[in-house]
Amino acid sequence: MSLDIVILAAGQGTRMRSALPKVLHPVAGKPMLGHVIDTARQLAPQSIQVVIGHGAEKVRERLAADDLSFVVQEQQLGTGHAVAQAQPHLSAERVLILYGDVPLIEPATLQRLLEQVNARQLGLLTVELADPTGYGRILRDGHGEVQAIVEHKDASEAQRAIREGNTGILAVPGHCLGDWLGRLSNSNAQGEYYLTDVIAMAVADGLRIATVQAADEMEVLGANDRIQLAQLERHYQGRAARRLMAQGVTLIDPARFDLRGEASVGRDVLIDVNVILEGKVIIEDNVQIGPNCVIKDSVLRAGAIIKANSHLEGAQVGEGADCGPFARLRPGAVLGKKAHVGNFVELKNAVLGEGAKAGHLSYLGDAEIGARTNIGAGTITCNYDGANKHRTVMGEDVFIGSNSSLVAPLNLGAGSTTGAGSTITQDVPADSLAVGRGKQRNIEGWKRPVKNKP
Ligand code: UD1
Ligand code: CA
C-alpha cells in the first residue's frame, strides 16, 4: 500500500532558548529533523511532507533535498492544523505522521505501526509512562478498545490517572484524513486544532484504532528543552556503543564514546575513552584508537594504531601504520603500510609511502614522500607562497635532516639527503647531499660582553 509521510516541524521550541529552530538542534551531530527524515526515507514513502513554520527558511536551507516537500504553516494553530496544511499534497492509501523533534523513533517500530493501517483501521503509537504529565491520554472502553485521546490540559482528574500516553505518532487511511481534518474545532483548553481529535472521529465513523507500543519512553521522547536534548543524546550514544560492541569492538568505557555519523568496524578493534567518530569512518580489524582522539571521514586499515589525542579528518591510515600521540592528519593525508607519524606532526594533502617516517614536530603539506624516507624533527614543507600552493616530491629512502625548510615546488631524488637546518630551494639529485645553511665560523679567544658599571 502506498504511503505519504507528514513530519510536523513548525513549532517554536521556546524552552530551548535559542536562535536556532528547535528541530535543527543536533543529536549525534545531526539535526533532530534530519534523523526523522532519514528514518522516514527507510520506509520508502511516495512523498515526505515537512511542515515548517518557526525558522522555516533556516530549516529549509539546512535540509532541502529532492525527495522532500516543504509546506509552510504560517501560524501554529495546533497539530491538526499543521497536518491540514500538508493534506492537499497527499494522495497515498496510508499517511504516517511523525514529529520533527522526536528523533530516536526506529523504522522497525513504524513498520509495525504501518502494518495496522487499512481502510477500516488506523494505527496509533502509544507509550506507558511513569509520569504522563503533559501527554495526551489514551481513553479505552470496557473492552479495551480506544475511543479517544484527551489532552492533559483538557483531562479530568480520573483521566489524568491514565498512564498510557499518546506519542503523537499515528498512521491513518489516506482517504479519511481530509474529511476529519476539515471537521476539527479549536474549542478546547488551548484553543488549538488538535490532531488527536481525529481518533474520536474515526471511532464514530466505525473505524477501529489499533495501538502499537513503543519499545521505551526514549524512543518517542521529544526534546522540548536542552535537558531532554542531552537525554536523547546519551540514549542515542548508548545504542550506538552497544551496536559497535556487538560487532566486535572493545569500548573501554561505552559511556565515554561518541558516534556522530556512521562507523563500519572490523573485529577486535579497541577504542579507548573519549573518542569521537564523525562522518563516515571505516575501521578495519585490529585497529587500536587511544584516548581523546577525534576521527572524521577517515579510513583506518587493519592493525593501524592511533595514539592518544590525535585528530584525523579525511585521512587514510595504512595497514599497521601508526600516528600520534598528538598527530594531526588533515584532508588528503595518506599513511602507507607501516608508515609512522609521531607527535606534533601535521599532514595535509600529503602521502607518506610504505614505512616512511615523520617522528616529530613537522608540517607536511602537498607532499609525496617515498617509501622508507625519513623526515627529521622540525621539518616543514613551505608549500604556500602567499598566493599558490606547490608540491614537494621525495623519492624512496630520502633522509631529511632535522629542521629543514623545503621550499616548494621541489623534487628530492631517491636516496638524497639534506643537511640539518637547511633551507632547500632547488631540486636535489638522487643519492646526493644538499646543504643550504650558513657556514659555521669559530672565533677563537672571543670575549663575552660584560655589564657596564653604573
Ligand atoms: C502533542 C499531542 C499529545 C501528545 C504529545 C506527545 C496534540 C494535540 N497533542 O502534544 O497528545 O501526547 O504531542 O509529545 O497533538 N506542531 C506544528 N504546528 C503546530 C503545533 C505543533 O508543527 O501548530 C509540531 C511541533 O513542532 C511538534 C509537534 O507538532 O513537533 C507536537 O507539538 P507540541 O506542541 O509539542 O504538542 P504537545 O502539546 O506536546
Ligand atoms: Ca511536545
What's residue 12's pLDDT? 87
What's residue 454's pLDDT? 87
What's residue 453's pLDDT? 92
Alpha-carbon distance 391 to 411, whole Å?
8
Pick the residue whose CA is nearest to atom 13 on ligand 1: 168
Measured in angstroms, how far is the CA atom of residue 101 from the centroid of ligand 1?
10
Which positions ≥6 away from 148 have C-beta within 8 Å?
139, 197, 199, 200, 203
Beta strands in 53-100 (DSSP E): 68-72, 94-99
C-beta 100 within 6 A of ligand 1 = yes
Ligand 1 nearest-atom number relative to CA 100: 30
User: Which residues are annotated binding-site positions for UDP-N-acetyl-alpha-D-glucosamine?
Assistant: 8-11, 22, 73, 78-79, 99-101, 136, 151, 166, 224, 330, 348, 363, 374
C-beta 8 within 6 A of ligand 1 = yes
What's residue 177's pLDDT? 97
**213 dihedral zone (left: phi>0; alpha: psi -120 to 50; beta):** beta
The answer to whether 390 touches 366, Cβ cutoff 8 Å, is: yes
What's residue 122's pLDDT? 97
Domains delineated in the chain: 3-220 (3.90.550.10), 247-434 (2.160.10.10)
pTM for this model (two decimals): 0.93
- b/e code 380-399 from CB counts within 10 Å (16+ = b): bbbbeeeeeeebbbbbbbbb
What's residue 215's pLDDT? 83
The answer to whether 290 touches 324, Cβ cutoff 8 Å, is: yes
User: Which residues are annotated binding-site positions for acetyl-CoA?
Assistant: 377, 383-384, 402, 420, 437
What's residue 191's pLDDT? 97
Prior bond to 325 cis, omega within 30?
A: yes
Residue 382 CA, distance from chain mean position: 34
Pocket test for ligand 1, best of 37, 79, 126, 167 (most atoms within 8 A of CB): 79
Alpha-carbon distance 442 to 440, whole Å?
7
C-beta 222 within 6 A of ligand 1 = yes
Does the active-site annotation cover 360? yes
The answer to whether 353 touches 370, Cβ cutoff 8 Å, is: yes
- Please pick, among 25, 35, 152, 360, the residue that the annotation labels catalytic: 360
Mean pLDDT per 10-residue segment, the chain (454 residues): 97 93 97 98 98 97 98 97 98 98 97 97 96 96 98 98 98 97 97 98 98 93 96 97 97 98 97 98 98 99 98 98 98 98 98 98 98 98 97 98 98 98 98 96 96 92
Measured in angstroms, how far is the CA atom of residue 125 from the centroid of ligand 2?
15
Alpha-carbon distance 113 to 129, whole Å?
19
